[in-house]
Amino acid sequence: MLPAVVKLCCGISYPHLRSMSGKGFNAHTGPRSNITSENLLPKTEVAVSEDQLFYIQHGKEALRKAVSMLEDGEGWKLEIQENNGDVICSKVIPGAGKVFRLEAVLEASLDDLYDLLFVRVENMHEWNPSIQRVKVLKRAGPETIVTHEVSAETAGNLIGQRDFLSVRHSCKEKSCLYLGGAAIQLESFPPQAGFVRAEDGPTCIVIKALDEDTRKSSFTWLLNMDVKGWLPKSIVNQGLPRAQLDFTRHLRKRLSLR
**pLDDT tens-digit profile of 117-150?**
999 999 999 999 999 999 999 999 899 999 999 9
Q: What is the pTM for the complete model shown?
A: 0.81
In a domain, residue 29? The reply is no
Structural domain boundaries enclosing 57 = 50-256
In a domain, residue 228? The reply is yes
Q: Residue 219 belongs to a domain with what CATH number?
A: 3.30.530.20
What are the residues whose beta carbons fall under 8 Å from the beta carbon of 157, sequence distance 6 or more?
130, 151, 239
In a domain, residue 38? The reply is no
In a domain, residue 247? The reply is yes
Amino acid at 240: L
In a domain, residue 9? The reply is no
In a domain, residue 104? The reply is yes
CA distance 3 to 1: 6
**pLDDT tens for each residue of 14-57:** 333 333 333 333 334 444 444 433 333 333 356 678 889 999 99
- Rounded to the nearest angstrom, the gap between the alpha carbon of residue 175 and the centroid of all alpha carbons in its chain is 18
Determine how β-strand 162-172 pairs with β-strand 196-197.
parallel
Q: How many domains, in total, are found in the chain?
A: 1
